[in-house]
Structure 1
């Protein structure tokens, strides 16, 4: 969610969809752990207007993966967007004079025996890019996102509780998180905050103590009874036949992008028709694509987007929908079955990632499939969104500084 992009209203609407995802945690090989992402449809009325996508642990609003965890003692359930595109864990807290509406009760730090404010002199305060000092000597934070969403509040430490597969609570103590007292943006009423899983010391991944994690997200329109999976630590390595390991490129030091996951896109192909970003690979900006689980569509700079859009339209032997204002300018088709569109290849530095129609065409409503790409005027950075990440076992190895893709049926 951290990267500034220009979304078509169609994809902004999708962020309102809801699925409830329950977390189960079990011990993986060599001491790591994994979570099953069990999705159940929400009864919220918004879910009738958008498509439901695959998510992580908790809720999932169309296109957003929501992680379920509990904060405090006694534990209070929190459902936050799982986001590789940001650094901070935060949730809405009492008092909340200027907050977005949420259906579940706000977290009240006064009711938790393990809540502790972090002082502005603490090293932990300096780990937050926008950490500052309040008049009460507490660490104020202000964290903004690409869609102009913002969270303001106090940095604190708390106990986070996960539920094991045996039903026993698994507690992680002294976890740094933002207690948000002033939050606004494009959130819906089932979302309660954001769970950042970047490389930053304040992210969930870093605070768990791991430098490896993997995910296997089921495709967008998979039956909601089928779980996605995510693993942390040892045992989460992605190995075997068919693995493509792509070098991660460090973000700009000292910026809000410094801890995010960037790769280098050289060009894209629609079947055998290739579009290169530049005729001279040496002039391509390194790290020009952000891997972001908090952004649903794949976002391309305008020229490349137009080339891919036009070539897909040329290769799909159907007439696109042109008379539905709800779909905006998206490339959409009416069909009663999954769209048989072209294979789209992302040529990344380190290897090629092949995207089938199940990863590139998304059904916003019954009988309609739309190309799951969007565009940005920023020619320096695009985004590989979570639609395209479906049916890949993706492993992040922060020791080797690579992200590995393995084509996998994530429904099994």
Structure 2
């Protein structure tokens, strides 16, 4: 999810996500070395509490693509001792879910996991304006570990222009808006988070910063009680756990059609990606800190390599694209996209057809052989050979479409392009690793 703080000058937007939102519907699994793992499922997975059998697989895909495009448009405007965590991930129309508990005693809730935003927040009592959710609202008065933060606190300063001061209580108020017009307003606080354990051992994370949302609206389902931000900004879960996990996390996204499969989101030593078939590329530091920027040098289609060029520089700009698990589609500059589409058409034996809902630019009848060789070339020699499932998506029983779209101003490497790769982040070494994998078996 892309979001922005809405006070003074807004922080860069953090659109909908890992579209893919990472929803961690997860139980935590204790590891032999004292670590733990959490299961993550797709928002539309058969295993999701929000699964709606009346909505078809293709309708879910179309909704995910619309969210992805909305998200990208927003990007364009804004542009403990060491432990391990593993979270299971399930595919579902481009979004993912997570089970996490807040407070003492712990109150379990489902939240969207989002690598494209930072703030962790859930809906709270008293609610001035909230979207409908099935679970009871979190009541901070029932928790012995809940603490509102002062507007003069260092934690409140982390909100930047998104922070304000309550005239009544001197408490830190936050205001956070997303690219799809969703928003949350409330009080910044500290609380104990708890991740459950399949071994019967729960993992408490005390004194973590989150937003207690008293005014929240958006395109959320009744089972989505908030968002867990996994971005690079100071308020995200990744940043708050950074020293404990050594700055390492990885994920493996199952293909869209595997709606009842899971894989894991890993933290710490369990997140190390290794092997002969691993490629790595530098993470580029730039604003906003939320996003995980890489440098895409070009794309090969068949035997032809297309360079990522900028008219004002020689070669590709550093950090010209970022990874987003919450965006389904990959976006490229218009010139590069047009050249890529032209080469794709040359290699596919079939006549392109129009997408009847007007979301994607290049489509074919479903029986067309669209298995073309496409490789993304990232800096540092990281050549990522994409499979058909990374480049074309079945929009209906009659239609397959290219999962890339043109968009000037921002480039996003979406979750379809990342599926069936183990994607590791090492924030200390400032590198991202890719390893081909069968994510349904992780």
2:281 to 233, 246, 259: 246
Aligned to 1:67: 98
Q: Where in structure 2 are the equivalents of 1:158-177 lying within 5 Å?
A: 158-177=191-210
Q: Is this contact kept in 2: 1:267–1:348, CA < 8 A?
A: yes
Task: Show CA shifts across 1:111-139 (max 9, x none).
Answer: 33322211111111112232222212111
Tell me the distance in 2 between the aligned counterparts of 1:368 and 1:251.
39
Q: What's the CA shift for 1:177?
A: 0.7
Match of 1:407 in 2: 436
Give the direction of change, closer, same or farther, for the CA distance of 1:152–1:60 in structure 2 (3 Å limit).
farther
- Which residue number in structure 2 is paired with residue 314 of structure 1? 346
Q: Distance in 2 between the 1:192 and 1:177 partners?
A: 13
CA distance in 2 between partners of 1:91 and 1:154 (Å): 11
Alpha-carbon distance between aligned partners in 1 of 2:299 and 2:114, rounded to the nearest angstrom: 25
8 Å CA contact 1:81, 1:294 repeated in 2: no
- Partner Cα distance (2:275, 2:26) in 1: 27
Deviates more, 1:22-31 or 1:132-141: 22-31
SS in 1 for 2:239: helix
Question: 2:91, 2:257 within 8 Å by CA — same for their partners in 1?
Answer: no
Q: CA 1:315–1:169 in structure 2 vs 1: closer, same or farther (change >3 Å)?
A: same
| 1:213 matches 2:249 | yes
Match of 1:50 in 2: 60
The question of whether the paired residues in 1 share the 8 Å contact of 2:146 and 2:191 is answered with: yes
Alignment of 1:231-270 (within 5 A): 231-252=266-287, 257-270=288-301
Task: Please say if 1:128 is aligned against 2:159.
Answer: yes
Distance in 2, matches of 1:319 and 1:166, equals 54
1:62 and 1:176 mapped to 2: Cα distance? 30
The match for 1:200 is 233
Distance (whole Å) between structure 2 residues aligned to residue 79 and residue 289 of structure 1: 30
Asked if the contact 1:250/1:259 (under 8 Å) is kept, the reply is: no
Q: Secondary structure at the match of 2:276?
A: coil
The residue aligned with 2:214 is 181
Give the secondary-structure state (helix, strand or coil) at the position aligned to 2:416.
Answer: coil
Alignment of 1:2-401 (within 5 A): 2=2, 22-28=25-31, 30-37=33-40, 40-41=45-46, 42-43=51-52, 45-46=54-55, 49-51=59-61, 62-129=93-160, 130-135=162-167, 136-208=169-241, 209-210=244-245, 211-222=247-258, 224-252=259-287, 257-278=288-309, 282-322=314-354, 325-335=356-366, 340-350=370-380, 351-378=382-409, 381-401=410-430
SS of aligned partner of 1:144: strand
Distance 2:22 2:319 in 1: 32
CA distance in 2, matches of 1:43, 1:26: 28
CA drift at 1:329: 4.1
Distance 2:95 2:105 in 1: 27
Q: CA deviation at 1:65?
A: 1.4
State the shift of 1:212 in Å.
0.6
CA distance in 2, matches of 1:285, 1:137: 44
Structure-1-length-normalised TM-score: 0.85
Task: Please tell me whether the aligned partners of residues 58 and 79 of structure 1 are also in contact (alpha carbons under 8 angstroms).
Answer: no
| Residues 87-134 of structure 1: CA deviation (Å, up to 9, x unaligned) | 111112223333333343332223333222111111111122322222
Structure 1, 276-285 or 187-196: larger mean CA deviation: 276-285
Name the SS of the counterpart of 1:78 in structure 2: strand
Q: Which residue of 2 aligns with 1:7?
A: none
Aligned residues: 391
Give the RMSD, CA atoms, in angstroms.
3.0
Q: Using a 3 Å threshold, how does the CA distance of structure 1 residues 38 and 382 change in structure 2: closer, same or farther?
A: closer
TM-score (norm 2): 0.79
**Within 2, Cα distance between the matches of 1:220 and 1:259?**
25
Q: Is the 8 A contact 1:74 1:112 kept in 2?
A: yes
Task: Say which SS state the counterpart of residue 310 (structure 1) adopts.
Answer: helix
Instruction: Give, in angstroms, the shift of residue 29 of structure 1.
Output: 5.9
Residues 217, 410 of structure 1: 8 Å contact kept: yes
Equivalents in 1 of 2:104, 2:396: separation in Å?
42
